[in-house]
Amino acid sequence: MTTLAGATDTLTRDALAVLQPSFLGTEPPDWVLRRLDEGLTGVGLFGRNIESPEQVARLTARLRAVRPEVLVAMDEEGGDVTRLEVRTGSSFPGNLALGAVDDPALTRAVARELGRRLAEVGVNLDWAPSADVNSNPDNPVIGVRSFGAEPALVARHTAAYIEGLQEAGVSACAKHFPGHGDTNVDSHDAMPRIDVPVDVLRERELVPFRAAVAAGTKAVMSAHILLPALRTDLPATVSPAVLTGLLRAPVADGGLGFAGLVITDALEMQAIAATYGIEGGAVRAVAAGADAMCIGARGDEEIVLRTRDALVAAVRSGDLPEERLADAAARVRALAAWSASEAGGAAEGIAPDPAVGQAAARRALRVTGAADYVPPAGPVYVAGFTPVASIAVGRETPWGVGAELERELPGTESAVFDGSAAGAGGDGGGADAASREGLSALTANVLAAAGNRRIVAVVRDVHRHPWMADALDALLDARPDTVVVEMGVPQAPPRGALHIATHGAARVCGRAAAEVVTGKGAGA
């Protein structure tokens, strides 16, 4: 017979097991080590935890000294969203670049090498790939993180990515179920809503997730979005209709038949936290069918303990079935056990492929105007027009072509301009008199700083930012020989004496573009 103390201990350990918290610093704090000993089974690493591969390997080794089967997760998509190379930019192009090449074998090779590097430093769960179909070009949070706007293309590359990553022994996590591509709101800030019929969801959003399940993805991450067509007024993360009735349900019943780990997107995002709070969101998510709760932003012990206690209290009050919490904890432990045993040595059998990322970035370039282009004989002036980055992308990761061109063309200078420089208030428009005056001043500043040097204008999603489009228009009117490098979604028509679409802002994408600007790359 189980004693009350034993039952409480089991319940508390189960509540800890379903949490995936983060922490501050480049060494695991004592509270994390204590909670691992008490049942915590997973942690998430972010840019703030990263100094070097060697340091990450030491960090993960300390975690495993306490709990050998711990799941160490990272939001490492490559491309614009990188944690392992947060301070330098990624060695791999992101999803949109891979989709532009449309060679699933290349996507698989890129993911395999990325997985090998993650495994090498002790990371065994990657919150990637994004399986979202970017059907809305104004999407503020997905964009280049998607393989593209066509469901079949996204599906085949999602499957290839999962296969490559898991060949290296790193669990993949297809996200953001059931699809975050047709939104114009960032769920970090508010609640997105997709108002399309259920047959559209099945023929568009769900296609890549079916492919992910068929490819054997170990995990799926839920999205904080509303989908009224699924007859629920709850966001997917806390909706039984979405997680149990759609994702888990058998294929014969119209579901996806997924039996692996269901992970929530970060519960501190406003789409959940503003309505339910982190603790309330965790209780509702587990009850709906989620197994692992991402609570990443604050990185402190208090939120871990409060969320643990909320789950325990919900079981005791009858609001959360104990069997559901136990099932969620068992799924977490099962993936942790797989990662520690069967997957442990997988990466050791994979030969390093250090050049694959740069090769993929070069293949992803789309160059317009190359036939008449004459590369500069001397230094250039790089004007970067930059939007505010989303929280997912992060604001500390460098991007652009300036650093590469400064190395290749001595005397090159770079400057960054945002919407406030144009009088547009960040990412606002540029229609009023103050904005027009600001744009005029911005253009004058660029022209004065450039002098006689060729101008290279670097933009990112110019179609989404009126101030940026206006600034580019003014610059091209004054200097038609300007080179334009689009490092976001190339939705706007190509402009400039030479136009280079990189399909992402990873470091390797910037290098590939710089090679074309200097005449050393294909397409120049």
Catalytic residues: 188, 265
Report the run of H or E that residue 473 belongs to, with start and end. Answer: helix 466-478
- Give start and end residues of each alpha helix (H) in 168-300: 198-200, 206-214, 240-242, 270-288
Helix, strand, coil proportions of the chain in percent (round to 5)? 45, 10, 40
Q: How far is residue 70 from each of residues 44, 86, 110, 346, 354, measured CA to CA in Å?
A: 11, 23, 25, 17, 28
Do 182 and 128 contact (CB within 8 A), yes or no? no
CA distance 315 to 13: 13
The burial of 338, by beta-carbon neighbours within 10 Å (0-12 exposed, 13-18 middle, 19 or more buried), is given as: middle
Sign of the CA dihedral running 298, 171, 156, 354: positive
As beta bridge partners, residue 46 has none
Distance spanning both ends of the chain, measured CA to CA = 76
Do 267 and 221 contact (CB within 8 A), yes or no? no
Residue 121 identity: V
CA distance 308 to 489: 41
Question: In sequence order, what E strands does 277-423 have?
Answer: 293-295, 366-368, 380-385, 413-417
- 9: tokens are 């201990």
